[in-house]
């Protein structure tokens, strides 16, 4: 168990919003995750707290986002009439416009900011913001289901408090909005492991995107080919991400822990399971560095519920049964879910496809160790790793 308290930040107000019944980003995934956590007894832990949140202020939003974009969000949010402004990425199938949109986005960012505040001001060891992780939102454009970039707003606040921050993005999609915010800065280390943008949204996040100016070397991208499986994923994390995080020695880790890397996710082609996901969560907790976890993506709802339950258990130092609780299984069977296990067996991809993914991963690892390690770790030490 952690020596200091942990918190799960979530507001019931999220239940009032919807992207639409046919949209892949379904907000009732939050309720499913909370049901599973409840079934495992993770919402009654003596050192863990549930915290509500409130929307961020316009001033806090403007720490990253452009005033004209924020004004248009507010304007569209006030009406239930269908509208669009493609200059700002609003109103298409990806980023629909609905009444209350601005309030919804501001509340999500507020949950992440509250998570950051709890770590800094109340010395919580780990905080999970289920509704956080909108890493595609750009300074003046909505993108990839994201309207306000809660991660950037939270990191900006942490930097104002004098904290040293690592941002780790484990979502299947590259964290392009966060990269945009800190590309020329050495105040935070930005690391993203994701499916390669060669053929995949948002088409960015390649190894040679390493920052500019004083930010050179402080942006790290580890693109992975389709069919990257559990062993490759864990290897990439251990050989690149873990040593860089340790070398940077942050005060706080902000981790986007999206669950869309899983092999049954309908929008992605990685082949990760809860086996390697649980491994990464345990490794993050083992660093003994205060951390904020942001829910991120995940479009197979049971995968998302299982992933976030695993993350919350790791943050609290709790070992869970690999089998889902019987009462929860009975409940989800009525909804058509066939799952009975929390933890999957180690998965290996098809040998031919895995070989292609292995070659690509090794090239990425070599490039990062050659170009980034000497900057962040130091020449002699980097050569010995």
Quote the CA–CA distance of 235 and 367 in Å, as a whole number: 15
Quote the CA–CA distance of 270 and 228 in Å, as a whole number: 5
Contact criterion met (CB below 8 Å) for 266 and 191: no
Catalytic residue among 65, 135, 136, 138: 136
Quote the CA–CA distance of 332 and 36 in Å, as a whole number: 10
Q: 10 Å Cβ neighbour count for 240?
A: 23
Segments in the chain forming alpha helices (H): 29-39, 58-61, 67-77, 101-121, 150-160, 176-182, 230-236, 242-248, 274-286, 301-315, 326-333, 351-371, 373-376, 379-384
Hey, what's the torsion of the CAs at 81, 84, 88, 89, to 10 degrees? Answer: 110
CA gyration radius, the chain: 20
Give yes or no: 23 in active site.
no
Q: 10 Å Cβ neighbour count for 46?
A: 6
Show the tokens assigned to 208: 């040679």
> In which residue are the tokens 């309720």 written?
31
List Cβ<8 Å contacts ≥24 apart for 56-62: 56/106, 56/109, 56/110, 56/113, 56/148, 56/153, 60/109, 60/113, 60/153, 60/157, 61/106, 61/109, 61/148, 61/153
Distances (CA, A) of 145 to 23, 71, 178, 192, 253: 9, 19, 15, 18, 24
**For residue 226, what are the contacts with CB-CB under 8 A and spacing of at least 6?**
195, 196, 199, 200, 269, 270, 353, 357
Show which residues are catalytic.
136
């Amino acid at each position: 168990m952690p020596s200091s308290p942990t918190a799960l930040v979530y507001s019931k107000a999220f239940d009032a919003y919807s992207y639409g019944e046919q949209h892949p980003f379904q907000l009732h995934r939050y309720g499913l995750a909370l049901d599973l956590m409840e079934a495992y007894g993770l919402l009654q832990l003596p050192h863990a707290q549930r915290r509500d949140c409130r929307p961020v202020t316009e001033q806090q939003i403007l720490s990253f986002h452009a005033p004209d974009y924020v004004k248009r969000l507010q304007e569209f949010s006030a009406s239930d009439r269908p509208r669009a402004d493609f200059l700002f990425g609003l109103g298409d199938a990806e980023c629909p416009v609905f009444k209350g949109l601005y309030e919804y986005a501001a509340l999500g960012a507020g949950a992440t900011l509250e998570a950051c505040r709890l770590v800094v001001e109340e010395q919580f060891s780990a905080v999970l913001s289920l509704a956080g992780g909108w890493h595609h939102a750009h300074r003046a454009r909505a993108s990839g289901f994201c309207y306000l970039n809660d991660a950037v707003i939270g990191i900006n606040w942490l930097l104002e408090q004098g904290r040293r921050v690592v941002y780790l993005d484990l979502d299947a999609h590259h964290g392009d909005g966060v990269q945009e915010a800190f590309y020329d800065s050495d105040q935070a280390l930005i690391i993203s492991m994701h499916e390669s943008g060669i053929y995949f949204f948002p088409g960015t996040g390649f190894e040679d995107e390493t920052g500019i100016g004083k930010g050179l070397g402080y942006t790290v991208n580890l693109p992975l080919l389709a069919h990257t499986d559990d062993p490759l994923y864990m290897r990439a994390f251990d050989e690149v991400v873990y040593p860089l995080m340790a070398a940077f020695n942050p005060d706080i880790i902000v981790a986007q822990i999206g669950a869309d890397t899983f092999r049954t996710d309908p929008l992605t082609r990685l082949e990760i399971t809860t086996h390697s996901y649980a491994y990464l969560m345990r490794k993050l907790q083992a660093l003994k560095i205060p951390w904020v976890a942001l829910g991120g993506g995940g479009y197979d709802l049971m995968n998302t519920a299982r992933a976030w339950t695993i993350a919350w258990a790791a943050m609290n130092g709790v070992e869970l049964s690999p089998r889902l609780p019987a009462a929860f299984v009975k409940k989800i069977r009525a909804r058509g879910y066939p799952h009975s296990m929390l933890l999957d067996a180690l998965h290996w991809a098809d040998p031919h496809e895995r070989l292609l993914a292995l070659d690509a991963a090794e090239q990425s690892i070599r490039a990062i160790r050659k170009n980034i390690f000497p900057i962040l770790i130091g020449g002699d030490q980097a050569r010995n790793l």
